[in-house]
Amino acid sequence: MTRIKDLREYLHALDELGDLKVIKREVSADLEAAAITRLAYERGLPAPLFDRVTGAAPGFRLFGAPAGLSSVQGKPWARVALSLGLPLDLTPEQLVEKLIATCGATPVPPVAVSREAAPCKQNVLLGDEASLDRFPVPKVHQEDGGPYPGTWGVIIARTPDGRWTNWSIARIMMIDGKHMTGMVVPPQHIGQVWQEWADIGNPVPFALVQGGHPAISCVGGMPFPDAEVDESGFIGALLGEPLEVVTCETSDLQVPASAEIVIEGHLSVGRDAIEGPFGEMHGYMSADTSAQPIYSIEAITYRDDPIWPIVPEGRPVDECHTISMPGLSAAALKELRSAGLPVTMVWLPTYAANHWLVITVPQNWRERLPGIDSAEFTRRIDEILRSTRAGQMMPRAFVLDDDIDPFNDQELIWALATRVHPVKRVKVSEGWATPLHTCFTPEEKVAGRGPLVIHDGLLPAPGEGRLAHSSFAGAYPGDLQKRVLEANDWGLSQ
């Protein structure tokens, strides 16, 4: 597979796959581009590239659904795969395992290049000229508090002592041409970095990166690898080669040299602006606002004819589900395996909008844990799970035998309906409740605490009431299945 170097090569590859739609008519950045992108998500259409944006200088473009599910038949995860340098027929299970393996690999740090070799330095705006007013900053939902420069842009920030440089995504709203605000909360990595600067009373140097290698935003949007692991080295290990970076104009932070647009400045340590509301990953428009720090813009650098990626997140499936859910799944699976528990897979079903988590276990788990019943096994899983970010965030978790494929929504719905008791075999604890989880009451969201449940959906042991599947694979002899498949009466691809 040809290595993708930047967003432009990625767009070319999508075009060759038939998964890119170039929209040549003039489109407004005020809701219209986002509306077209939402339609593409919901109808499984190619990713839209907007060639002409109302009010923007010729050449300025917007790009929607950069890592949504693909329109390519039989390759729904092709955009994610192409972004991460993986085979186009990637399955979510392979993605989760790849993330875990990369977390255990030696990081490949980025390499610095000269300003002359960095496309992101083709245009440099400083001082008063460094304003968002010249860019087509998108407004992505009708009820949003303003345009949102940060929906797929990666924030780069470093702890005051320099030990950790974090690349992550958190939503950012435009206040005016020189100022932005955004969600900066302690569970997020940007919130952890910000708190260390707030503790010493100094503003945080930051860079907001739009575009570049498509892996940058994918990894930046994953709550994985673990805290205090530099994403730049993780991306290098994932791709098998280092990213090229260049030093900022206003700080010693290093940013991807192939970025389309880099916005630089300082983030205040006070909470001086009102951010929101914003339509979020749960699929509902929230009315919530909150006091957040202010990003003051001091420099903007960009490529000729820059491309601004946008993610109008909402009802599944979009990047908030294709990216964050594999990351959370990998983090939880890694911890459960590290604890020595026999677990086959962990998956956050994309259509559950970050509200469900499914754990599958091998059907011989009783042999591997002699003397342990399903209630105790589920309790042990829950104990480890709730120590992870994924476990702390998921209102509902389900433990199932691995005769069920958690990535197959048809199988999963059948198993949850037929194996999970309405009220029994469930453990209830208390954990984190957030406004992003619409199932909680207003009082629970304000308190930040709510019930977390885990359901024991494990089948009885063989010979103790376990029922066979009345399916093609489960209700007919193996030799008959083989004969039917070989006959191939429908001419199906084998």
CA distances from 395 to 429, 440, 451 (A): 10, 9, 7
Residue among 466, 474, 469, 467 nearest 366 (CA): 466
Assess contact for 385 and 332: CB atoms under 8 A.
yes
Pairing label, strands 165-168, 154-158: antiparallel
Sign of CA dihedral 299, 128, 117, 259: positive
The catalytic position among 249, 264, 275, 280 is 280
Mapping DSSP to helix (H, G, I), strand (E, B) and coil, where does residue 485 land? helix
Residue among 206, 198, 185, 208 nearest 266 (CA): 206
CA-only gyration radius of the chain, Å: 24
Query: Residue 461 pairs with which residues in a beta bridge?
Result: none
Angle between helices 324-338 and 374-385 (to 10 degrees): 120
Mapping DSSP to helix (H, G, I), strand (E, B) and coil, where does residue 283 land? coil
Active site residue 129: no
21 contacts: CB under 8 Å, gap ≥ 6: 40, 45, 46, 47, 48, 49
Angle among Cα 266, 269, 270 to the nearest 5 degrees reads 125
Q: Hey, which residues are catalytic here? A: 280
